[in-house]
Amino acid sequence: MSSSEVRQMDIEAWQTSGMSLAAYCQEHGLNTKTFGCQLALKSTHLTASNNIRRFRQRMSCR
């Protein structure tokens, strides 16, 4: 399993855990700052992907 797959699994597990970010990281031995940065990068990537998709949809309608 690649590190990006492990990271994705950690993010999904945290989201469904109902725990705060700090509590989840402490319980799983993760660095809170690093995990928070990974979340921010994922969020930025998803936002950019959605913006590109919307732009392409708008351009194809013209």
Domain boundaries, the chain: 3-60
d(CA 23, CA 44): 23
What pLDDT score does 41 carry? 79
pTM of the model: 0.65
Tens of pLDDT along 28-62? 999 998 888 888 877 776 676 666 677 677 776 54
What pLDDT score does 62 carry? 46
Distance (Å) of CA 23 to CA 8, 30, 38, 44, 52: 18, 10, 16, 23, 35
Tens of pLDDT along 4-29? 788 888 888 989 999 999 999 999 99
What pLDDT score does 38 carry? 83
Phi, psi of 34 (to 5 degrees): -65, -45
